[in-house]
Structure 1
Amino acid sequence: MRNFARTSWTKKYFWRLFAASFFVMLLVWGNWNQHGTQGQTASKPQVPKVILISLDGATPQLINQYLADGILSSSQGLGLLQSQGIVAQQNITITPSLTAPGHIAIATGSSAAKNDINANTFHLVASPFKDNINGFNAPIGGYSAGIDGPAQSTELTANPLWLSLRENGKKVVAATFPGADGVDITVPGLPNSPIVQPANKRTVDYTVPFGTFAGVGAQGFNLTATDFSPAPKSVINQLKAAEKVSYSRILKTNKSFDKFTVNGVTYDIQVVAIDTTKDRKVNYDTLVFFDANQGIQPGAFNLPSTGPAYVRASEQKSSLFYLEGSSSKAGTAFYVSTLAPDLSTVRFARYSANYIPRNAAVLANVDDINNNVGFWRNQADYRITERLSPGFENFSDEELEAIYEDQVRNFVDYQTNVGLRAITQNPNVDLAMIYIEQPDGSEHQFLLTDSRQATNPRDPNSIAANQDQQKIARYDAYVKAAYQAADRAIQRVIDTVGTDSQGRPNSNIIVVSDHGFAAFHTSVDINNFLKNNNFDSNKVRAVSSGPAVNIYFNLQGREPNGIVSHEEYVTLQQQVANALKSFVDNNPNYSYGNSVHIFDKVYTRPIPEDLNDSSFGLSTNELIGQDAGDVFALLTLGYNFDGIQTPVVQRLGDDPSNSSVLSVPNFYGAHGYDPNLPNMSAIFFAAGPDFGHSMLKQVHNIDIAPTIEHLLNVQPASTVQGKSIVN
């Protein structure tokens, strides 16, 4: 017995020792695997569960073409998501297919008629008749417009998904995503307006609002050698302290040429020319921009400060310039487009001044961005390329286009940096929402693909065979560059969260757009159209966004001081609708010999059977929301309300009597048309741990919110109209 007992104890000890040793080896192996060089098998990092990225205006048609042609890589960005996850052939957005409505539809899972954001600019019926509101700063899900005046709605008609997520303990961050801005919404034009949507409905765990204008627009400058004189000793010493060397005599502007005020602080911009090439020639190649009140400071500089802007024309690259002392923490940038070595020709641009709104509810997040990413960068500015900003008259088209491209690159990089900062500061967040403005801006400016488009906006003859083919080729390259910039942004997000051994992102990344894009050839002046049809502007007014228009009546009992009776409303509505439906274009240069109806869709607000019904003027349906027009209409492809030039440029072959309504536009791309048109399709890409690999024929943008909520195990709000695309 004793011998047996000893043998049993020995075997038991041996197996315990073996098991312990094996466990230690597993720990050692796991530790080596985690910290060694085998990155693909490392433990999964803490990353957001879901990342939603919107590429404004991206279209399936162009992306498919660019992937097929190798303009976009099949193994990076969108190409990687396509190879690893789900792609939809068509993503139907909402009516109208505009930016503000499209993004709020993505965020709420509800149509524009339900979420009450019906355009980029529209009229709140609780406002005085002549006042409008920006669709990006309007109450999501509506408000109460009762007889006692506007107030917060007790039951929103649509709810941003961040409300339901946060109510269920989920964490959300938003990097410049429309609707998440931390602002209290009031009614424009109404003195002492109550808050109709409080900031807490528009605030998430880390909220960065989209930037805004600081009151100083872009300007171009043309200088010559006579504008420069030998720099004073003080400036020379400042450059020396900044360790800047010039091999030719340092010259400085001899007069003030650019003074402006931001937040009560006046800035007096001065320029120094230096020669950094040691070639024994007078060869000025760099301009130094500084505020005369600050001088040329040597640095180092902590963000958002930048110190002077040093710009070399040969680099075709702007330099940032923080406006020291501005309470809004605003900044600008300088770009040198032409710099003759002898300063005989000097052309440069100062970009507009901008900042991130310092809304009280999100101030800590705004300061985090200012101090770690920098002040708000310049969005690509169409006012420069269209010569609407002063001083650009003598710049060539190519110079202005180079400026625009610089802004495209810098702004996409900046927005991406803001998004990545939001992610890295909140690595285990449940949902990160990121907005990228391109390719929308470039498509508006450069989508020159229709033979009816005038390649010279001032010359109506520059259509068809007279189009400038070199300009068309340049513009095509700019659109491609915009998609490449947006695609790099996607890849940077993928790089940040990493991929697993199969190449799938470690986060569920969903990339969508708010709408597609189409070329247009004709501008439509809706105000002149109404005037020509004898509608009284005190009773009828139009508010347009792209090719969509809301036409409002100054209704008694609805608008403050309304003058249109219920009976007159019925008549006016029919008259306006009939006028829109009967408006045709017979010019064969644009209609190809047919009569083209200029308005594709015309919708009217429902009228109750009883004209004394309290809902009169507030009735809604699937396309008309509370603050939509009493008549709402969409133009036919090829026509747009924007782009009207001053003075108006008459189209080729038009009767002069029509030139007040139809004219040659000064830019080329538009959206906002019928969302069912193929050109208006948005994109949908999704890849990550919870997505398989498949091709879907069709999804809807209102499906995005319930899909995200499904991934995060949260029940969508009852107002959601879409459905999850994953089970």
Structure 2
Amino acid sequence: MGQYVYTYPIWPLRRLLVIALVLLLMGGCTRPAPTATAIPPGASARASATASPVGTASPPAAAAPAGPTIVAAAPAVSPSPTPRPVEPTAISTSARSGPGVILLSIDGAGADVIASYSAAGVMPNLARLAQMGAVARHAVSIYPTLTAAAQSSIATGSLPRRTGIVSNRFHLAKDSFYWYQDGFSMALADAEPVWKTAQRAGLRTAAVFFVGGQPDLPKQLADYTVGYGKRDIYSNQIKVAFTEAAAWENAPRSYSPARQGYVPLVSRGATIATLLLLATDTSDNGRADYDVFYLCEKPAITPACAALKSDGAFASFVVNSRIVSGADFKITNADLSRFTLFQSGVYYNTAAPAELVRGVNQKFGFFPPSPDYYALEHDWITAEDYLQMARRQSDYQMNVAIWVWQTYAPQLMFAYQPAIDEAQHQFLLVSPDQPGYTAAKAQTFEAYRRTAARIVDDNLGRLLAALDLNQTTLIVVSDHGMAPIKAEVNVNTLLQQAGLLKLYAGKTDVDVPNTEAIAFASGAAAHVYVNVKGREAAGIVAEKDAAAVVEKIAALLRGATDPKTRQPLFGRVVERAGLAELGLDSPASGDLYVEAAAGYTLTDGRGVAELVTPTAYYGQHGYDPNRPELRAIFVAAGRGIKPGAIEPVRLIDVAPTIARLLGFAPAASVDGRAIEPALK
């Protein structure tokens, strides 16, 4: 999700063990539609914020060039692979005055799934919170059930018609016709986050990794804002060629001749920096068993190096100490003749004010990489690795949230946990009509999903341990559930086959002067835009002819079927006149809004020959929020909450409920209302 690529040298950052930090704290969403279009800065990779964006990788790099011959020197102590946690400097601490509210959003947590996990003991902390507080039968999300749109509505209490966030990715008429905007990084249109309303009421606020709370959206800043991490470099599977090593400073003893290789960090085809990798053999067994590898900036073992082991454990490395960006590395083949190294995306933190980003970096290090679905689907990493990445990121996010709550004492804080969404996208294998289904595989994947639920519940437990519920209200919601999928529908292929979308010969670039329509998809939802003259900068469809083009597209969509099964591919096709009923009557919405039929998801890839293609993953959202699988959760406990079961609520009701709990009037743009049955 990073916007910039840095080409200056890598600078070392000294690092020590983080055990003291962990003990201290323990005491106390969609996949990309494949496209060759230029991607806007900050564009998300998924329907969820991890999106982020988040975890996409570039193609494997070629083998690294062999380097100069160097020789191992004297032994040294193995360095820690993680950044040194030091107490932040110049941190303003405050005592909390009056009551507080924390909202925790659990991405992708469907009501039925969470109820079953709570009953089965998988999520005991959430079950305990529910016993103490108010629990809705379920929460109704918004159209579409996508993270950027739904989280924006949670934060504001407003429908997409007011937030302007009508999807995870969508087109604006001011942009080139082939261009889309990223809903995760867009400013709100005519709505206001409840933390801004609270600020005007004199309350101190915080938004920690929450959609809409980013330092590059200055009009939406909470008093203390930690943005979702920015990606500087995509992930990679790197082939490393080794040569005889010589002249390493402070090198450890190796029972076989030490070997050296080069590790390039590649972004968009360009090598940004090159690291060194020293292979050592620590086993005095008469065989060449290289088992410990040192990743360093230069031929010297220092605390800034990362020690990687042949058993495949992850190790962290600070790539740039000025912005504190870093990546996690893992050996995926330790045979020096076929050696491969997985490099996660390189991420860094953003936060405001400046002292906050300094504090987060000093205390917790760089933002951990998102679980990498591209790497998983290309067999660079295992499912266990994927879940380990989810654990590291979720733990980090909760560590930071608890620290912000305790250090800055906000009276209102929004926080976020993504692991359930990340696991359900990859592992929601529940039906024999899904590709690769076997009963045994389905059982294994269910265990993976439960692991993700435990990750989130463990972090909820740590948050509960840090709170006084006599003075604080904890509200736990989700933005949507998840539904199983079996195939992808390439919406732009349908438009291209009908002659409505034109591409330059042999390319995937849009021939805008000859294109009448284009689709932008996120998850199971898509907006289709007509290239109307006078609205679009290079429009070609006369306004008087636009309705006929829309009707033609609607007929195509409604008549589209799976070539193999003859099943309809689209479950909902809505023209602009019908968008008000869905809360989607925004200038950012398409001339048509499309939703995939059950079992299918949508992509906006261009130049794809087949209308329907296999999917490499198993769960998606973006469908009708009233579908049982897509229903969200609402649980609240603590100050001002009346315990007991309540009828379904709407996610747009959460923000005005927060306003009621903290004693200020909601913004005029709020579409929801306070959840009275949950309040004392």
- Give the alignment's TM-score, normalised by structure 2: 0.78
Residue in 2 aligned with 1:209?
227
Segments of 5+ residues of structure 2 without an aligned counterpart are: 1-26, 29-94, 503-514
Q: Distance in 2 between matches of 1:337 and 1:482?
A: 23
- Equivalent positions of 1:630-641 (< 5 A) are 630-641=591-602
Secondary structure of 2:385's counterpart equals: helix
Aligned to 2:354: 363
Partner of 1:406: 388
Once the two structures are TM-superposed, the CA of residue 295 in structure 1 deviates from its matched residue by 3.1
Equivalent residue, structure 2, for 1:332: 327
For residue 466 of structure 2, give the secondary structure of its aligned residue in structure 1.
Answer: helix
Report the Cα offset of residue 277 of structure 1.
5.6
Equivalence for 1:72 = 123
Deviation, structure 1 residue 380? 0.5
Question: Which structure features the higher share of helix residues?
Answer: 1
Q: Where in structure 2 are the equivalents of 1:77-476 lying within 5 Å?
A: 77-140=125-188, 142=189, 156=190, 158-184=191-217, 199=218, 201-214=219-232, 216-222=233-239, 227-229=242-244, 231-233=245-247, 235=248, 237-239=249-251, 246=253, 248-249=255-256, 251-253=258-260, 255-260=261-266, 266-276=272-282, 283-292=289-298, 295-297=300-302, 299=303, 307-314=304-311, 316-325=312-321, 327-339=322-334, 346-357=339-350, 362-387=353-378, 399-427=381-409, 429-455=410-436, 467-476=437-446
Contact 1:526 1:542 in 2 (8 A): yes
Separation in 2 of the partners of 1:575 and 1:486? Answer: 46
| 2: CA distance, partners of 1:436 / 1:49 | 20
The residue aligned with 2:458 is 488
In the aligned structure 2, how far is the partner of 1:470 from the partner of 1:676? Answer: 31
Shift of 1:621: 7.6
What CA deviation, in whole Å up to 9, does each residue of 1:56-104 have, x standing for no partner? 111122222222222232xxx2122112111122111000000000000
Q: 1:647 to 1:486 in 2, by over 3 A?
A: farther
Matching of residues 551-630 of structure 1 within 5 Å:
551-585=528-562, 587-588=564-565, 596-606=567-577, 622-630=583-591
After superposition, the Cα gap between the structure-2 partners of 1:469 and 1:276, relative to the gap in structure 1 and judged at 3 Å, is farther
Give the paired residue count.
572
Shift of 1:554: 1.6
For 1:643-675, what per-residue CA distance to the aligned partner results, in whole angstroms no more than 9, with x for missing partners?
98x997xxxxxxxxxx71012111111000011
1:547 corresponds to which residue?
A: 524
Q: Which amino acid aligns with 1:371?
A: Q
Q: Please give the alpha-carbon distance, in whole angstroms, between the structure 2 residues aligned to 1:81 and 1:484.
A: 15
Alignment check: 8 A CA contact 1:113 1:620 kept: no
Query: Percent identity, aligned pairs only?
Result: 28
2-side partners of 1:647 and 1:505: how far apart?
58
2:114 equivalent to 1:63 = yes
Q: Which amino acid aligns with 1:336?
A: I
Contact preservation (8 Å) 2:119, 2:127: no
> Distance in 2 between the 1:313 and 1:688 partners?
48
Return closer, same or farther for 1:582/1:400 CA change in 2, 3 Å cut-off: same
CA–CA distance in 2 between the matches of 1:329 and 1:344?
A: 33
How far the C-alpha of 1:531 sits from its partner, in A, is: 1.6
Could you tell me which amino acid in structure 2 is paired with residue 601 of structure 1? R
Report how far residue 625 of structure 1 moved: 1.2
2:487 to 511, 515, 522: 522
Shift in alpha-carbon separation, 1:621–1:96, aligned structure 2, 3 A: closer
The alpha-carbon deviation at position 232 of structure 1 amounts to 2.3
Task: Give the residue type in structure 2 aligned to 1:639.
Answer: Y
Superposed CA offset, 1:170-192 (max 9, x none): 111011110011225xxxxxxxx
Q: Retained in 2: the 8 A contact 1:117–1:135? A: yes
Contact map agreement 1:642 1:665 (CA 8 A) in 2:
no
Which 4+ residue blocks in structure 1 deviate beyond 6 angstroms? 44-48, 278-281, 618-621
Superposition deviation, residue 382 in structure 1: 0.9
**Kept after mapping to 2: 8 A contact 1:113/1:624:** yes
Change (3 A) 1:45 1:575: closer
* Cα distance, 1:506–1:491 mapped onto 2, change above 3 Å: farther
Q: CA deviation at 1:630?
A: 0.7
Residues 262, 277 of structure 2: 8 Å contact kept: no
- Tell me how far apart the structure 2 counterparts of residues 127 and 530 of structure 1 sit (CA, whole Å): 20
Note if contact 1:203-1:362 (Cα within 8 Å) is conserved in structure 2.
no
User: What is the CA distance between 1:519 and its match in structure 2?
Assistant: 0.7
Q: Distance in 2 between matches of 1:64 and 1:346?
A: 45
Amino acid at match of 2:108: G
Contact 2:102–2:414 (CA under 8 A) maintained in structure 1: yes
Letter in 2 for 1:218: S
Amino acid at match of 1:54: S
Alignment partner of 1:641: what SS?
Answer: strand
Q: Secondary structure at the match of 2:456?
A: helix
Write the distance in 2 (CA, Å) between the matches of 1:550 and 1:118.
9
For 1:629 and 1:581, the matched residues in 2 are separated by 16
Cα distance in 2, alignment partners of residues 619 and 70 from structure 1? 42
Tell me, yes or no, if the aligned pair for 1:556 and 1:566 is still in contact at 8 Å. yes
Identify the match of residue 661 of structure 1 among 611, 627, 634: 611
TM-score normalised by the chain length of structure 1: 0.73
Separation (CA, whole Å) in 2 of partners of 1:482 and 1:111? 30
Alpha-carbon distance in structure 1 between the residues aligned to 2:239 and 2:383: 17
Deviations 1:149-194 (A, max 9, x none): xxxxxxx2x221122111110111011110011225xxxxxxxxxx
RMSD (Å), alpha carbons = 2.9
Quick check: 1:47–1:507 contact (8 Å CA) kept in 2?
no
Change (3 A) 1:581 1:643: closer
Residues 434 and 285 of structure 1: CA distance in aligned 2, closer, same or farther (over 3 Å)? same
Shift of 1:413: 1.1
Q: Secondary structure at the match of 1:477?
A: helix
Q: Distance in 1 between matches of 2:172 and 2:355?
A: 31
Kept in 1: contact 2:327–2:345 (CA 8 A): yes
